[in-house]
Amino acid sequence: MHHVHEENHEAPQSFLRRYIFSTDHKVIGIQYYLTALFMMLVAGLLAILIRIQLAWPQTPQPWLHKILPGLYDPNGIMRPEYYPMLFTMHGTLMVFFVLSTAPVSGFGNFLIPLQIGARDMAFPFLNMMSYWTFFVGCLVMLASFFVAGGAAASGWTAYPPLSALPESIPGSQWGQTLWIIGMVFFIASFTMGGLNFVTTVLNLRTRGMSMFRLPLTIWAMFCVSILGLLSFPALTAGVIMLLFDRHFGTSFFVPSGVVIADKLMPHQGGSPLLWQHLFWFLGHPEVYILMLPAMGFASDIISVFARKPIFSYRAMVFAILVISVLSFLVWGHHMFVSGMSPYLGMAFAVFTLLIAVPSAIKVFNWLATLWRAKIHFTTPMLFALGIVSLFISGGLSGIWLGQAPIDIQVHDTYFVVAHFHLIMAGAALFGVFAATYYWFPKMFGRMMNETLGKLHFWLTFVTYYLTFFPMHFLGLRGMMRRIYDPTQYDLFKPLQPINELISHSAFLLGAAQLIFVFNFVWSIFRGKKAGPNPWRANTLEWTTESPAPHGNWRGPLPVVYRGPYEYSVPGVAEDYIPQNVAPAEVKTVGARG
Amino acid sequence: MSRIQALLFAGFTVLLVVVAVWAFRKPWLPDLAADRSALDHRIYVTMIVTGIAFVLTQGLLAVFTWRFRAREGQTAAYWHDNPRLEFIWTAVTAVVLTVLVLGALRLWAQIYSPPPAGALIVEVTGQQFAWNIRYPGPDGVFGRTDPRLITVDNPLGIDDQDPRSADDIFVVNQLYLPVGRPVQLRIRSRDVIHSLFLPNFRVKQDAVPGMTIDIWFTPTQTGTYELACAEHCGLGHYRMRGFVFVQTPEEFAETLASLPPWRGE
């Protein structure tokens, strides 16, 4: 502790040590965040290509042949072997490299020391290593688009034998191997980050900051770090075994007697279901790694702009803890029709509906926070309300999917695509935006433009619903995921107008993000200067200057006297009491005049 | 400023609820052709329960954002919790979900119960990118298969030395079924994972190499239906399509008699 304290006043002077190979958690957080935004751009463009294809599967797009001659034939028709590459890499990049990275590695790094009252992370050098490991992972993933056969094409779930046998699909050649290597770098980076987060939250809280005075954002970061540390090892084992199946002659996942293109494969005795268990043992906690931080942001931001304590802080904490534990017991609901024993399916159905209880409690608590509040509709508040809205809309379809018999009909259809884009991707994406507008002043010392922010919110919110809500209907009709041309089926031909509507909305959704990019860049240089506490909020990051200096506080570390949600306390002059104001210094109404 | 944003947010939320309820009124499920009306019933019950929850929670969100927008001179209420209220909504949620999951488990057990005696047995084997359909023929027994015997002309690797294989009937992408008789499908794959999806029959089951997975149902409507692959299986996944022909028992017997028995090469 003493050691950290002495170090803090000396910020490194050289550009390289200060902005590139920095060990300052704020710089690292912003590095993660900006890298994730770049990956979002790539993954978003892949989604646009998917939507062009699904809405107009047989319409030539010669202009696309000019831009992407590898992907489109000279007539402007997409080559069918490359379509799987698009959805595989869209999913992989979005889930891991964007929506895990920006909220957890980005904002988690930036916020944990600032909100718990620490000078930096427990292991600053490990933190720097973690970012550069992630960076290599990004490069490997991006490079995979340019190898023979293209990028991985077996879906973000990489089910073997498709992912294990290079003969089975063009993208299962070097693309799949690079996918595995990229994932290993990602997992290594996420593990370093997780160790750092858990240690920092447990050991470096300032005086008075008990666990039950932590902002809910920190509770979420703490729990998702533990989730990551416990669940990613299963995937690590899985991808290494997959690598061995592909290159070193093992047969963990490939059974005997597999014949590809009339050639008998030499593998013997593996189990494709083993991979699915390993993958989803990570895959389901991973969903909560995306969602819990967004729920933390929503709780904190709603409380600030409702000028009201979050309803039932303890229930919120327990809901996060219960969700975290249960998230390890529901993975099999991805496998109801996989051939797994139906008895196992029953157990997973029970746990899946059980996890809906703490999720519902969170929604009720947000609504109760809004009741008799004084709501200020700033851009971060709008995005936080958007999280609540999407969480309700996407969460309720989970009650359909968790019932195993209903899953028989809608599994692997667009119903599932609608569900997880609304709840997991939607909540995480809106969480990133809410957090960006809210903490931008602390990151860059300036405010983002509110008018552009609101325009960005409304275009994003409306087009997000228009893009993903109608997918429920495609799915109920039976339209499968991951198909290159839905019009092959007579059953789905009448659905094309809906597919076109979805694609138009998706293009608008993509275009609306240009407003955000412009606002972000413009505000860094020209935004209104922010004071230390522009939102009149209670948490500790607002007790230091904007942007926070190296070491976070120029003087001694703040001391904490209360929880983070003391808004509109009766008898107090201001409608907020920062966590570090001593009880004797709180101005009462009488003292005002 | 708060007024406009509050109006927009509450207004959009109300519009969302109205459009969603209106759109879910339409029966989106394809026409039912099998004895799985209980599954449709479960979908409708769940739709109503979650629909009520949707209208209530989104409705409250709309009302609260409009009613409690920031106004001059107003102060927010101050309290931290309300144990009684919290107990009530936790209990109600838990009871509703328990009832739903119990119903789901019962139906699940029924769907995966052993097939009734006298069910027609058909083998369905996925391969990139076709469905191989095999009937055991008059002897009621499938001939032996061996992946080492697989060739372009013998996609299942049927062993011609096995006397039981001679009368097997083999067709590609065409599943003929008699109406009213339970059918037991033996689902297999010879390469990667596929998923046999019969949207009109509410049937979906992965075809996993190395495994034989049995499911059963009873077709209830004659007609021609589509058969799809629901698990991404490679570049031709989107066109791994077949047909289900549900026929009267007489027509079905004629069809089977007219299909040539397996002879091999």
- Which residue of A lies nearest to B81 if distances are taken between CA atoms? A312
Lowest-pLDDT choice from A44-53, A393-402, B160-169, B195-204: B160-169
Place of tokens 């200057």: A545
CA distances for A539 relative to A292, A307, A592, angstroms? 19, 13, 23
DSSP three-state, residue B51: helix
Distinct helix (H) and strand (E) counts, chain B:
4, 10
DSSP three-state, residue A484: coil
- Give me Rg for the CA atoms of chain B: 27
Taking the C-alpha atoms of residue A521 and residue A494, their distance in angstroms, rounded to an integer, is 44
Chain A interface, best mutation among B26, B37, B193, by max A CB count within 10 A? B193
The DSSP symbol for A213 reads G
For each of the domains in chain B, give its residue range(s) and CATH number, in order of start: 2-70+82-111 (no CATH), 120-258 (2.60.40.420)
Place of tokens 């979906």: B204
- For residue A233, cis peptide bond before it (omega within 30 degrees of 0): no
- Which residue of B lies nearest to A365 if distances are taken between CA atoms? B86
Interchain CB distance below 8 Å, B65 and A337? no
Question: Could you tell me if B105 lies within 8 Å of chain A, comparing CB atoms?
Answer: yes
Length of chain B in residues, anyone? 265
DSSP three-state, residue A472: helix
Taking the C-alpha atoms of residue A450 and residue A379, their distance in angstroms, rounded to an integer, is 6
Lowest-pLDDT choice from A13-17, A243-247, B28-32, B90-94: A13-17
Interchain CB distance below 8 Å, B193 and A311? no
Find the CB nearest B64 among A364, A367, A476.
A367
The three-point CA angle B68-B72-B74 to 5° equals 50
**Which residues 402-461 of A have a C-beta within 8 angstroms of B?**
402-406, 408-409, 411-413, 454, 458, 461
Interchain CB distance below 8 Å, B209 and A353? no
Q: How many CA atoms lie within 13 A of A411 on its CB side?
A: 28
Question: DSSP string spanning B146-211?
Answer: -GGG--SS-TT-B-TTSGGGTT-EEEESEEEEETTS-EEEEEEESSS-EEEEEGGGTEEEEE-TT-
Q: To the nearest whole angstrom, how far is the Cα of B177 from the nearest Cα of chain A? A: 20
Tokens of B192: 């990667």
Residues A114-126: tens digit of each pLDDT: 999 999 999 999 9
Question: Could you tell me if B97 lies within 8 Å of chain A, comparing CB atoms?
Answer: yes
Tokens of A320: 């996060």
| Phi/psi at B114 (5° precision) | -60, 145
Closest CA to A437 of A451, A425, A427: A451
Place of tokens 């789901």: B104
- Burial class of residue A551 (count of CB atoms within 10 Å of its CB; 0-12, 13-18, 19+): buried
Chain A / chain B CB contacts < 8 angstroms: 314
Q: Are B21 and B51 in contact (CB under 8 A)?
A: yes
Taking the C-alpha atoms of residue A76 and residue A73, their distance in angstroms, rounded to an integer, is 5
Taking the C-alpha atoms of residue A183 and residue A134, their distance in angstroms, rounded to an integer, is 9
Closest CA to A50 of A21, A99, A85: A85
Tokens of A335: 């496998």
The helix (run of H) or strand (run of E) holding residue A541 is: none
pLDDT at A262: 87
> Which residues in chain B have their CB less than 8 angstroms from residue A485's CB?
238-239
pLDDT at A303: 98
Question: Could you tell me if B152 lies within 8 Å of chain A, comparing CB atoms?
Answer: yes
Find the CB nearest B46 among A159, A338, A399.
A399
- For residue A311, cis peptide bond before it (omega within 30 degrees of 0): no
Closest CA to A182 of A42, A292, A327: A42
Residues sharing a CB contact under 8 Å with residue B50, sequence separation 6 or more, in sequence order: A396, A397, A399, A400
Tell how strand B120-127 and strand B183-189 pair up.
parallel
Residues A517-545: tens digit of each pLDDT: 999 999 999 999 999 999 999 999 999 99
> Which residues in chain B have their CB less than 8 angstroms from residue A570's CB?
78
- Burial class of residue B69 (count of CB atoms within 10 Å of its CB; 0-12, 13-18, 19+): buried
Interchain CB distance below 8 Å, B204 and A411? yes
Q: Are A265 and A165 in contact (CB under 8 A)?
A: yes
Which letter, b or e, does each residue of B200-213 get, where b requires 16 or more Cβ atoms within 10 Å of its Cβ? bbbbbbbbbbbbeb
Interchain CB distance below 8 Å, A162 and B5? no
| Phi/psi at A470 (5° precision) | -65, -15
Taking the C-alpha atoms of residue A136 and residue A354, their distance in angstroms, rounded to an integer, is 39
- Which residue of B lies nearest to A161 if distances are taken between CA atoms? B192
pLDDT at A200: 98
Taking the C-alpha atoms of residue A64 and residue A347, their distance in angstroms, rounded to an integer, is 48
Q: How many CA atoms lie within 13 A of A518 on its CB side?
A: 11
List, for chain A, all residue ranges whose pLDDT scores fall below the cut of 70: 1-10, 591-593
- Burial class of residue A490 (count of CB atoms within 10 Å of its CB; 0-12, 13-18, 19+): exposed
Amino acid letter, B2: S
CA distances for A355 relative to A91, A217, A359, A498, angstroms? 24, 20, 7, 32
Taking the C-alpha atoms of residue A159 and residue A238, their distance in angstroms, rounded to an integer, is 11
CA dihedral A103→A105→A111→A116, nearest 10 degrees, is: 120
Amino acid letter, B48: I
Taking the C-alpha atoms of residue A425 and residue A287, their distance in angstroms, rounded to an integer, is 9
DSSP three-state, residue A576: strand
| Phi/psi at B126 (5° precision) | -80, 145
- Give me Rg for the CA atoms of chain A: 24
| Model confidence at B76: pLDDT above 80 | yes
